[in-house]
């Protein structure tokens, strides 16, 4: 699923990785309405997100600039995604900046995510215009 707005956005596209459809709907609207990104690609699992990235690894223009990653997902959580992300090509790692967007307030989760070399930032849900304004990747 992907929704597009106009071309005057801060970033061309972002990827939302979250199993919660309501959170995805709200976050997608926030991202588009604030013109943070011109296109929002939504994947409801770590596996479908990773498949999307690998499918577009040879075409950097279709890769997202920012990946908003939830930690608490069934089957494969955000930490498992980050472990698999370690093995993707440098093209993907250089283009796509990972921002953890989670409801977890666990100090262990925050520390583990924040110290991961691929995580640019840790943000607590809900996503807000203030958080989006502060992101410069």
Cα(65)–Cα(96) distance, integer angstroms: 5
The pLDDT of residue 4 is 60
pTM, to two decimals? 0.93
Catalogue all structural domains in the chain, each as residue range(s) with its CATH number. Answer: 2-134 (3.40.50.2300)
Cα(43)–Cα(19) distance, integer angstroms: 8
| DSSP single-letter state for residue 9 | S
Would you write out the chain's pLDDT as a tens digit for each of its 137 residues?
Answer: 555 655 689 999 999 999 999 999 999 999 999 999 999 999 999 999 999 999 999 899 999 999 999 999 999 999 999 999 999 999 999 999 999 999 999 999 999 999 999 999 999 999 999 999 999 88
Question: Of 39, 34, 28, 123, nearest to 78 (Cα)?
Answer: 123
Structure tokens at 14: 């972002």
The pLDDT of residue 3 is 59
The pLDDT of residue 8 is 84
The pLDDT of residue 137 is 81
């Amino acid at each position: 699923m992907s929704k597009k707005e106009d071309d005057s956005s801060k970033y061309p596209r972002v990827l939302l990785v979250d199993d919660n459809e309501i959170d995805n709907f709200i976050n997608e609207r926030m991202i588009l309405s604030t013109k943070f990104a011109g296109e929002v690609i939504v994947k409801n699992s770590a596996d479908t997100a990773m498949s999307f990235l690998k499918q577009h690894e040879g075409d950097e223009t279709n890769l997202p600039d920012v990946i908003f990653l939830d930690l608490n997902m069934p089957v494969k959580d955000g930490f498992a995604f980050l472990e698999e992300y370690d093995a993707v090509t440098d093209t993907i790692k250089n283009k796509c900046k990972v921002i953890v967007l989670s409801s977890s307030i666990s100090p262990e989760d925050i520390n583990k995510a924040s110290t991961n070399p691929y995580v640019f930032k840790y943000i607590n849900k809900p996503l807000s215009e203030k958080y989006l304004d502060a992101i410069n990747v």
